């Protein structure tokens, strides 16, 4: 590893691209100084190695990790990759190198600094996913359900099963506006697809049930036990934008940014939108 530190790896941002980079790193016996997505690259004097996404290489790395290091380590790698933050690729790559050197038990060495970084990334991703299982709210647009979320990490793959199991017979769409992707589900098919700008019809509302829900929320609070700090601990303010029951406290007169019409037309356009996205 004599070249250590002089090279930057750049890849396309996909998981397969990342794994291809891992492959290259092992083939070249090099740990790069940095490992970044092309699009986010800053000009640099260091030499750049452009990773070519190679599905076969990616498969081999995946198999190698699962076979030699176990599913546990592979799960950590996959989950940590959903983390959205600087330096994640490099942290995971270093973890993989270490694991190949020290064996299966590496995943358990969470007191160790390099392992701990990846462990913390996984914990953060899990935390975020759990919040969006809790706090995603759908609006009904003549039978189709729609939600828009802005998660810190890419949680759609982790919340997919939760929602598909619960409302399997519905048409629904969860749009991750932060990462430009949507989880789309019909009774026949489910997919996570990249979506740049989702133009959703912006009118009408689903207020009959959201009003009932708001009223319910108001009536179950016990005034004698009012405890705003506790509420915020469990339900941090950044999630309130999704929750009809507290949106008004966020800003008096708050109108949710995305509401959906109840007219058959809008519902149809939404359905065809979902359909066309699925066919892509």
Partner 1 sequence: MDIYEKLAILSEAAKYDASCSSSGSGRSSSEGQIGAALPSGCCHSFTADGRCVSLLKVLMSNACVYDCKYCISRRSNDFPRATFTPRELAELTIEFYRRNYIEGLFLSSAVVGTPDWTMERMIEALRILREEYGFAGYIHAKAIPGADPVLTQRLGLLADRVSVNIELPSEKSLLSLAPDKTKHNILEPMGLIKNGILENREDITKFRHTPKFVPAGQSTQMIVGASPETDYHILHLTESLYKKYGLKRVYYSAYVPLQEDALLPSLDTRPPLLREHRLYQADWLLRFYGFEASEIIDPKKPMLHPEVDPKCSWAVSHLDDFPVEVNTADYEMLLRVPGIGVTGAKRIVRARRNQKLDFDMLKRLGIVLKRAKFFITCGGKTLQKIPETPEMMIYSLLAPNRMGGFTDYGMEQLSLFEPVLTGEDVIGCLTGEF
Q: Where are the alpha helices (DSSP H) in 175-243?
A: 207-220, 228-234
- Judged by beta carbon, residue 5 or residue 187, the one nearer partner 1 is 187
- Judged by beta carbon, residue 48 or residue 235, the one nearer partner 1 is 235
What does each C-alpha distance from 18 to 14, 35, 59, 85 come to in angstroms? 6, 9, 11, 15
Q: Please tell me whether residue 166 binds partner 1 under the rule CB under 8 A.
A: yes
Q: Please tell me whether residue 135 binds partner 1 under the rule CB under 8 A.
A: yes
34 sits in which H/E element: strand 34-37
Contact string 233-252 vs partner 1 (x = CB under 8 A): xxx-------x-xx------
Q: Choose one: 4-12, 28-36, 161-169, 263-271; the region binding partner 1 (CB under 8 A).
A: 161-169
As measured in angstroms, the least distance from the Cβ of 109 to partner 1 is 5
Q: What is the DSSP string of 187-198?
A: SS-EEEEE-S--
- Is the distance from CB of 7 to CB of 36 less than 8 angstroms? no
Alpha-carbon gap, residue 129 to 82, rounded angstroms: 10
Identify which of 153, 150, 144 has the alpha carbon closest to the alpha carbon of residue 176.
150
Identify which of 114, 128, 121, 127 has the alpha carbon closest to the alpha carbon of residue 86.
121
Q: Please tell me whether residue 12 binds partner 1 under the rule CB under 8 A.
A: no
With H, G, I as helix, E, B as strand and everything else as coil, classify residue 173.
strand
Q: Rounded to 5 degrees, what are φ and ψ at 112?
A: -80, 140
Contact string 77-116 vs partner 1 (x = CB under 8 A): ----------------------------xx-xxxxxx--x
As measured in angstroms, the least distance from the Cβ of 35 to partner 1 is 23
Q: Choose one: 26-34, 87-95, 166-174, 251-259; the region binding partner 1 (CB under 8 A).
A: 166-174
Q: Please tell me whether residue 216 binds partner 1 under the rule CB under 8 A.
A: yes
Q: Please tell me whether residue 257 binds partner 1 under the rule CB under 8 A.
A: no
- Judged by beta carbon, residue 169 or residue 276, the one nearer partner 1 is 169
With H, G, I as helix, E, B as strand and everything else as coil, classify residue 206.
coil
The residue ranges that bind partner 1 (CB under 8 A) are 105-106, 108-113, 116, 133-140, 145, 147, 162-163, 165-170, 206, 209-213, 215-217, 219-231, 233-235, 243, 245-246
């Amino acid at each position: 590893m004599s070249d250590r530190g002089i090279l930057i790896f750049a890849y396309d941002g996909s998981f397969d691209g990342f794994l291809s980079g891992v492959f290259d790193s092992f083939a070249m016996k090099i740990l790069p100084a940095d490992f970044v997505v092309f699009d986010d690259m800053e000009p640099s004097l260091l030499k750049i190695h452009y990773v070519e996404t190679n599905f076969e290489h990616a498969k081999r790395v995946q198999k190698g990790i699962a076979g030699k290091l176990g599913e546990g380590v592979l799960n950590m790698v996959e989950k940590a990759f959903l983390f959205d933050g600087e330096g994640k690729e490099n942290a995971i790559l270093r973890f993989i190198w270490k694991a190949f050197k020290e064996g299966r038990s590496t995943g358990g060495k969470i007191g160790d600094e390099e392992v701990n970084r990846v462990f913390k990334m996984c914990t953060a991703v899990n935390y975020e996913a759990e919040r969006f299982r809790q706090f995603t709210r759908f609006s009904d647009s003549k039978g189709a359900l729609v939600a828009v979320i802005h998660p810190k990490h890419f949680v759609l793959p982790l919340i997919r099963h939760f929602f598909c199991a619960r409302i399997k017979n519905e048409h629904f769409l969860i749009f991750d506006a932060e990462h430009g992707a949507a989880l789309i589900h019909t009774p026949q098919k489910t997919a996570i697809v990249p979506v740049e700008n989702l133009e959703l019809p912006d009118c009408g509302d689903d207020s009959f049930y959201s009003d009932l829900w708001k009223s319910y929320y108001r009536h179950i609070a016990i005034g004698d036990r009012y405890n705003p700090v506790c509420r915020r601990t469990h339900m941090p303010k950044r999630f309130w934008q999704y929750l009809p029951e507290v949106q008004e406290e966020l800003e008096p007169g708050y109108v949710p940014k995305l509401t959906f019409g109840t007219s058959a037309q809008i519902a149809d356009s939404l359905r065809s939108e979902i359909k066309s996205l699925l066919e892509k």
